[in-house]
Amino acid sequence: MFKKVLNILVFCVLILFSLAASAAPVTFTDSTGHSFAIQHVPQRVVCLVPSVTEMIFRIGAGREVVGVTYHSTTPPAVSLKPVVGGFFSPSLDRIAALHPDMIFASRIQKNVLKRFSKTCPVVVLEANSVAEIYRHLKILGEIFHREESSRRLIRSIKAEFALLKKKTDRIPLNQRKRVIRVMGREKVMAPGDNSFQNEYIRLAGGIPPVFGKKGPIVVVTKKEWERFNPQVIYGCEGDHEVVKKILSQPGWRDVDAVKNKAIYFFPCALTCRASTHAAYFAAWLSSDIYGKLYVRKSGQVIKDHEVWSKPVPVAFRYVKSARIIESRIADFLNKTLLISFTHPMRVLSTLEGSREGITTVGNHYMPPQVWNISYLMGFRNFLQRVYDTLDLRKKRTSLLMTGADMDNLSVQTRKYRAITVTALVTAGVRSNAMRMSKDIGKYYEPGTINIILMTNCHLTQRAMARAVITATEAKTAALEDLDIRSAYTGRRNQATGTGTDNVLVVQGEGARIDNAGGHTRMGTLIAEAVYPGVRQAIFKQNGIVGGRNVFQRLKERHLALYDLIPDGGLGQRIPRMKAVADLESLLLQPKYAAFIETAFAISDQYEAGLIHSLSPYRLWCKEMVYEISGRRPGAMKNLVNDSCKLPPVLRMALNALLNGICDQP
C-alpha cells in the first residue's frame, strides 16, 4: 500500500514539474529589438519569410505551420501548405482567415506588422550573418520546444563550415579569387559590404568586393565594377537576364570572369537566404571556384571513407543486403544505394549495357559540391574512387549515377499472386527536364530519374529489354500527369524525361518470364511500381505535387509576376509593384487560379495542334475582364510585357487578368 501511495505522489510531483516547466515563458528579442515572452508552443503559425520557414521545418516543427508565401519552396513538405500570397505583398485577409497564434514576418511587410501585432505575436527574424542563423535557430528551437533538434542542426552546420575552412586555409593567398554576386534588374546591383552573401563568399575562400556601401543590396557603378575586376561572377536562377544584359555592354564585359567563362548560377533558395543550407551552399560555391585545387590530393582534408549506413526494404531470396551508405569522397558527403546478391547475376543497364557476373547493383548520389571536381577528375576516375571507398569490385558492380539525394529514394513493391516487383526510384527534374523531339541536347548536367527494377522471377534477356520500355512509359506518364515542364522550353512543352535518365533491370530468379510488355501481368506490375515511385521521388526531391498552387506552376514556366508587368506599370495609375500585388490577389482566388490553370492545359493542346480555333476562349477572356472590373471590355489591350515571349493562350489569359485590373474603377 505504501509503495502504491509513493508511486502516486511521485507521479503527481512529475506532473507539477511538467506544468511548471510548460508555464515558464520563452523570452527572446527579435531582429527589430522587440522583446517577446511566449507562454505556449504556437499551434497555428503563418510564416511569411522563406528562410525562417526553412528553419522551422528543419527543426521538425513544420506541422505547426498553417500558411506560407509562394516564395517558400524548401524543404519539399512546404509545398503542401496553404499559400497567403507573395513575400512583398501577402494577403492580410488570407492570413487572418487562418487564425494564426504567431506570425513570422519581415520588417518590410509593414501592413502585416500594423494589422496583427495587437492580436498575436509578430516576430521578425532577419539573419544578416551566419552567427544570426545560429541565434535564430536557437530561438525557434525554444519557441517550438525543439531545442535538441535545433542544437543538432547548429552542430551539423558548424561542422561543415569547419571542414570547409580547413580546405580554404590551404589555398595560397595569391590564388584566392575575387568573387561577386550579381543582382538587380534595371541596374547592376550586388550585396552590400555587410551582407551575409559576402560572408558566404569569404567562407568559400573568395574575396568579395568592398564598395563602402552597406545593406542587403546596393548599386554598382561601372567604375567600381572595372576596379574590382571580378574573376568569378555568380547569381541565382533569376539573374540570367541581368547577367546577360551586363555582359553585352563594353566595360562590364571586359573583366576576367567573362574572359575565363567563370560565371555560375545556383538555386535562389541557396543564394538569397541566410538559412540552414548556408554551409551547403558555401561549399558548393567554393568547389566551383577552386575545383582545380580540390582535385589534387593536397586539397583534400579527410581520407575517403564510409560514415554510416541504413537498411532499405528489399525482400528477395537472392538479396544478401540492401542499404544506403553515406561516405566522404573528396571531403564531401556522398550517398549510395547498394544491393548485394547471394550469387552473380545478369543485369541490363541503360548506362552500361548488358553485363554478367554482377553481385552488386546500386545508385550513387553525387552532391553538387563534387560535380565540378568529378568533371575535372574525369568521370571514370571519380567512379573508381567510389568503388575504392565502398570496397567494391568494378567487374562485379553496376552503378547508376544521379544528382538526386538518396534520402529521397522511393521504394515501391507491387504483387500479383506469385509475382512480386520492386522499383527503387530517385528523381530530380528541376535542372534538365526535357521533351524529346523538341529540346536539343547540348551538355551533361546531373539531374536524372534513375529506376532499378527487381523481381522474384527470372527475366529473359528479351523480357529485361522490354521492361526498360515499360518502365520508361510509366515514368513519362507520371511526368505528364504531374505536368512536369521542360527546363528549356517549359512555356510550351511538358517534359518526357530529364535527358540523363537510366534504368537498371536485374535478371532475378524464379519462374521464367519472357515478356514484360504492357499486355502482360509482369509489365502491369512494373508500371504500377514505377509510376508512384517517380511521383513520390519527385515530391521528396523537388516538392512537386499534383495539386500545387498556380504560383508554382507559373514559376515552372519561368514566369515571374514582376516580369509580366511592363516597366511603367498598367496605364497611368497602377505602378508595377501595385500591379503585381493586384495580380497576386486575383490568383489567390480559386476562380482566377483555375482560369490560369485551364489556360495551361488549353495552351498545351493548342501548341500540339489539337485545338484549331481560340474564338471561344477569347470570349471567356472577355468575361473574365468583366467579372474583375465590372465593366464590359472593348478591344482587349496588350498589357503583358513584350519581353515575355508567351504562347498565344497564356498571353490571352494573363492579359485578361491585367485588363480586368486596369479597368477597375
pLDDT in tens, 140-153: 999 999 999 999 99
φ/ψ of residue 480, rounded to 5: -65, -40
pLDDT at 258: 92
Cβ(622)–Cβ(590) below 8 Å: no
C-alpha dihedral, 223 to 201 to 54 to 431, nearest 10°: 80
Q: Which residues pair with 29 in a beta bridge?
A: 35
CA 651/CA 421 separation, integer angstroms: 46
For residue 234, list its beta bridge partners: 181, 264
| Neighbour count for residue 594 (Cβ, 10 Å) | 11
Task: Look up cell 550573418; give the residue.
Answer: 129
Rg of the chain in Å (alpha carbons): 27
| Residue 640 confidence (pLDDT) | 92
On whether the CB atoms of residues 500 and 404 are closer than 8 A, the answer is no
SS3 track for 489-546: CCCCCECCECCCCEEEEECCCCCEECCCCCCCHHHHHHHHHHHHHHHHHHHHHHCCCC
User: Is residue 333 predicted with pLDDT exceeding 90?
Assistant: yes
- Grid cell, residue 131, equals 552567427
| In contact, 429 and 495? CB cutoff 8 Å | yes
pLDDT of 125 above 70: yes
Q: What is the mean pLDDT of residues 519-530?
A: 98
Q: What is the DSSP string of 343-375?
A: EEEEEEETTTEEEEEEEEEEEEE--HHHHHHHH
- From residue 179, how far is each of 259, 495, 507 by CA, in Å? 14, 35, 51
* Mean pLDDT computed over 128-149: 97
Percent above pLDDT 90 for the chain: 84
Mean of the pLDDT values across residues 372-399? 96
Using alpha carbons, select from 413, 400, 405, 522 the residue that is nearest to residue 451.
400
What are the tens digits of pLDDT across the range 48-103? 999 999 999 999 999 999 999 999 999 999 999 999 999 999 999 999 999 999 99
CA–CA dist 302, 385 (Å, integer): 14
Please, what is the average pLDDT of the chain?
A: 93
| Tens-place pLDDT, residues 19-48 | 444 457 999 999 999 999 999 999 999 999
Mean pLDDT of 319-346: 98
Q: Are 501 and 427 in contact (CB under 8 A)?
A: no
Q: Which of 452, 411, 448, 405 is nearest to 428 (CA)?
A: 448
**Pairwise CA distance, residues 277 & 55, whole Å:** 9
CB 663 within 8 A of CB 624: no
pLDDT at 432: 82
Is residue 75 reached through a cis peptide bond, with omega within 30 degrees of 0 on the bond before it? Answer: yes
The enclosing H or E element of 338 equals: strand 332-349
pLDDT of residue 3: 53
Q: Give the span between the Cα atoms of 455 and 315, in whole angstroms.
A: 10
Strands 232-236 and 218-219, how do they pair? unpaired
Rounded-to-integer distance, Cα 446 and Cα 428, Å: 9
- Residues 119-134: b if buried by 16+ CB within 10 A, e if exposed: ebbbbbbbbbebeebb
Of the pLDDT bands very low, low, confident and very high (cuts 50, 70, 90), residue 644 is confident
Total Cβ atoms within 10 A of residue 16? 10
Cβ contact 108:44 at 8 Å: no
Using pLDDT thresholds of 50, 70 and 90, give the confidence band for residue 540. Answer: very high
**Which residues, at least 6 apart from 442, have a Cβ–Cβ distance to it below 8 Å?**
none
Cβ contact 253:238 at 8 Å: no
Please name which of 652, 658, 642 lies closest in space to residue 587, comparing C-alpha atoms. Answer: 658
Distance from C-alpha of 558 to C-alpha of 552, rounded to nearest angstrom? 10
Is there a contact between 27 and 46 (Cβ–Cβ < 8 Å)?
no
The predicted structure's pLDDT at residue 239: 80
Q: What is the pLDDT of residue 457?
A: 98
Read off the C-alpha cell for 20: 511548471
Task: Say what angle helices 521-542 and 461-482 make with each other, to 10 degrees.
Answer: 40
Contact 330, 373 (CB under 8 A): yes
Query: How do residues 405-417 score in pLDDT, each as one tens digit?
Result: 999 999 999 999 9
Q: What is d(CA 22, CA 45) in angstroms, rounded to the nearest whole number?
A: 19
C-alpha cell at 329: 569522397
Q: State whether residue 179 is helix, strand or coil.
A: strand
pLDDT recorded at residue 443: 46
pLDDT for residue 444: 42
Statement: residue 242 has pLDDT above 90: no
* The three cell numbers locating residue 98: 487562418
Find residue 494's DSSP bridge partners. Answer: 485
Query: Residue 568: which residues within 8 A CB-CB, separation 6 or more?
Result: 576
Q: Which helix (H) or strand (E) holds 333?
A: strand 332-349
Q: What is the DSSP letter of 309?
A: E
Q: Rounded to 5, what percent of the chain is helix, strand, coil?
A: 45, 20, 35
**Phi, psi angles (nearest 5°) of residue 131:** -60, -35
pLDDT bucket at 247, cuts 50 / 70 / 90? confident
Query: Is the model's pLDDT at 6 over the cut of 70?
Result: no
CA 464-498-339 angle, 5° bins: 45
Provide mean pLDDT across the span 412-431.
95
Q: Which residues, listed in sequence order, are joined to residue 37 by a DSSP beta bridge?
A: 27
Give the integer Cα–Cα distance in Å for 113 and 30.
13
Distance CA(501)–CA(431), nearest Å, equals 13
Kindly state the cell numbers that stand for 428.
Answer: 530530380
At 635 the pLDDT is: 84
Q: Count Cβ neighbours within 10 Å for each residue of 403-412 and write b for 16 or more, e otherwise.
A: bbebebbbbb
User: Smallest Cα–Cα separation from 175: which of 295, 290, 301?
Assistant: 290
Question: Residues near 360 by Cβ (< 8 Å), separated by ≥ 6?
Answer: 338, 339, 340, 341, 392, 396, 397, 398
Q: Which of 507, 501, 490, 485 is nearest to 344 (CA)?
A: 507
- Collapsing DSSP to helix, strand or coil, 118 comes out as coil
How crowded is residue 642: how many other Cβ atoms within 10 Å of its Cβ? 8
pLDDT at 23: 56
**Do residues 332 and 370 lie in contact, with contact meaning Cβ atoms separated by under 8 Å?**
yes
pLDDT band at 185 (very low <50, low <70, confident <90, very high): confident
Q: What average pLDDT score do residues 475-497 get?
A: 95
Report the amino acid identity of residue 278: A
